[in-house]
Structure 1
Amino acid sequence: MDRIDAMRAFVAVVVEGSFSNAAAAMQLSPQLVSKYVSKLEERLDVRLFNRTTRKVSLTEAGTHYFEHAQQILLSIDNMESQLGGLHQNPKGTLRISAPVSFAMKHMAKLVTDFQTLYPSVTVDLQLTDRKVDIVEEGFDVALRIGELKSSSLIAKLVAPIRVVLCASPEYLAKYGMPHEPKDLKNHRYLHYSYMERNTKEVIHPWLTTESGQHRGELTSNNGDLLVNAAIAGAGLAVQPTFIASEAIRKGELVIVLPDDEPKTLGLYAVYAHRKLLPHKIRCFIDFIDGYYGSPPYWDEPIQNI
């Protein structure tokens, strides 16, 4: 027996004055309403109504139970109304995890535009290149870059992520422009430590040692640092264009081996559940879809380089 349904049936009998009137108000049969109340009395082990052929009246226990039941049902109805309001007008805190460099360069305006549309949503944006556990760490959405492996999480593609091998004109003037992949073996390489091998930073086997480890005269877990090092002439860097495109447009970096460009990756919005998705999450997922354009705005000036 559903305890709440039984409680509603009991309150309806009190308010409507009879089992038949309560049944009509609840759009149930009188037999089912009577069964609900009888089961409730069995559970409580008290008699709630004095019944005659003409009317029903509350017992002393029934009077006390009615006062409490009304308050409980009112609280439940208020809660459901508030939750319905959350569905219609999203509010609350939206916790997002995002990669450091991408968020620093491309998420401030997105969050501002999102909150302009949904002013009752507070955004808690946490930046990390570490792969967070969404459920364990309490995030609503995580933005991830790469080739996602199958999991129980839901992943929506937000934008393609183009990756290029690049270096400064000064570096190339000093060490020579590579014309084919094997030319890379004589060059300095700036390695991004979070790049997984199966995402084809594995751009070329010439960028790994004989044991299969990544080469790297400089290794860092931050792409902005590596791009700045490449601009300074430290070596070749494999980096996404959302970091490197500005330097490429300015001529501070040059794309190397454009015909052997690494495989395009993806920026994904990852979240835990598809059913009964909180409205604040659904609104964010819908909002970010297509937000950066196709191709993304950071790629438009350098598509043919």
Structure 2
Amino acid sequence: MDRIEAMRTLVSVVHEGSFTRAAERLAMSPQLVSKYVAQLEEHLGVRLLNRTTRRIHLTEAGERYVQQAQQILSDIDDMESQAGDLQAQARGLLRIAAPVSFASLHLAEPLVLFQRENPEVAIDLQLNDRKVDIIDEGFDVALRIGHLKDSSLVARKLTEIRLAYCASPEYLKKYGEPTSVAELPQHCFLHYSYVEDEQLRQAGIQRGNQFSCNNGEVLNNAAIVGAGIVMQPTFISGAALADGRLVEILKQEAPEPIALYAVYAHRTLLSSKVRAFIDSLSDYFSGVPSWDKS
């Protein structure tokens, strides 16, 4: 039995959800697919899949085995790719997940520059503010903003991101400027939905029945037209702060900065396309971020 081929077959069956679709993807007969899986189970001495007439389900042992098999297969693919071109040329499809506002405001140029330098890399950029599962959803790399929690993923810091309390001159003229975060509950505060309540409490803010949204640009625009005070990363508020549509307040109590990270699956061998992309972004965002330059 070719164990590597058997691993690939099992992983394909799990991803496709059936032996028939896996056979079509692998260009082999369904009987051979079934034979590979059966031989693998016999070799391991454990059932990996529970089969019904309609669906297949991984057993507990199968879940652990498939997770490790995917990592092994990824490392093999990376190793073969690097052996083939000695990492001289990045190539292939690069799947990237990124936050909506940051990507729409600041990611187009560095992506274009990267692709000019690496013309054999195709880019599939998916925007979503939720934290995607890089491995299960098939992403090569994800850009994340904030304070990262411990995980099995590898994170590389690309740049620091400053947070600022902002309000329009009209709002401050009408309602007054708070002198400390303790006064924020007396004001209309525009909440970013993905910020956890604990983070708000640490910043001295209470979540109330006011304005809440899961998109920072909407909140920024609401603040510009006088809806209230907003705590924003300056990659969103920077332009409005520069031209006076917003005013930064409570500078002495500004929240602790966060950061932009490139996050990828932990691998001994990192594919040339991922390494080239992360290096390119690191160079692009080095130094003082463009949105903080006056």
* TM norm structure 2: 0.70
2:208 aligned residue (206, 215, 218): 215
* Separation in 2, partners of 1:128, 1:96: 11
Amino acid at match of 1:154: V
Over 3 Å counting, the alpha-carbon distance change for 1:86 and 1:139 in structure 2 is farther
Q: Does the 8 Å contact 1:192/1:219 carry over to 2?
A: yes
Amino acid at match of 1:187: H
The correspondence of residues 50-129 of structure 1 with structure 2, limited to 5 A, is 84-85=84-85, 87-129=87-129
Over 3 Å counting, the alpha-carbon distance change for 1:81 and 1:95 in structure 2 is closer
- The aligned residue for residue 295 of structure 1 is 288
The correspondence of residues 154-233 of structure 1 with structure 2, limited to 5 A, is 154-197=154-197, 200-202=199-201, 204-205=203-204, 207-208=205-206, 214-215=207-208, 217-233=210-226
Q: Does the 8 Å contact 1:201/1:262 carry over to 2?
A: no
Root-mean-square deviation (CA), in Å? 2.2
- 1:73-118 per-residue CA deviation (whole Å, 9 max, x = no partner) reads xxxxxx9589613832111100000000000010000100000100
Shift of 1:197: 4.2
- 1:256-305 per-residue CA deviation (whole Å, 9 max, x = no partner) reads 1010000100100000023111110011111111312322111122xxxx
Q: Does the 8 Å contact 1:168/1:231 carry over to 2?
A: yes
Matched length: 219
- 1:165-203 per-residue CA deviation (whole Å, 9 max, x = no partner) reads 1000000100001112222121001000012345x4446
Q: State yes or no: 1:255 paired with 2:254.
A: no
Amino acid at match of 2:129: D
Q: Does the 8 Å contact 2:158/2:286 carry over to 1?
A: no
Amino acid at match of 2:218: L
Shift of 1:252: 0.3
Structure 2 residue runs without a partner (length 5+): 4-78
* Separation in 2, partners of 1:240, 1:81: 38
SS of residue matched to 2:232: strand
Q: Does the 8 Å contact 2:95/2:124 carry over to 1?
A: yes
Shift of 1:215: 2.7
* Separation in 2, partners of 1:143, 1:90: 19
Which is greater in Rg? 1
1:236 aligned residue (196, 216, 229): 229
* Separation in 2, partners of 1:162, 1:153: 24
* Separation in 1, partners of 2:210, 2:126: 30
SS of residue matched to 1:137: coil
* Separation in 1, partners of 2:259, 2:249: 21
Structure 1 residue runs without a partner (length 5+): 4-78, 209-213
Over 3 Å counting, the alpha-carbon distance change for 1:240 and 1:295 in structure 2 is same
* Separation in 2, partners of 1:82, 1:195: 40
The alignment-based identity, stated in percent, is 51
Over 3 Å counting, the alpha-carbon distance change for 1:191 and 1:240 in structure 2 is same
* Separation in 1, partners of 2:174, 2:81: 69
* Separation in 2, partners of 1:143, 1:137: 14
Over 3 Å counting, the alpha-carbon distance change for 1:141 and 1:80 in structure 2 is closer
- 1:134-167 per-residue CA deviation (whole Å, 9 max, x = no partner) reads 0000000000011101111000001101111100
Q: Does the 8 Å contact 1:159/1:290 carry over to 2?
A: no
Q: Does the 8 Å contact 1:97/1:139 carry over to 2?
A: yes
- The aligned residue for residue 150 of structure 2 is 150
* TM norm structure 1: 0.68
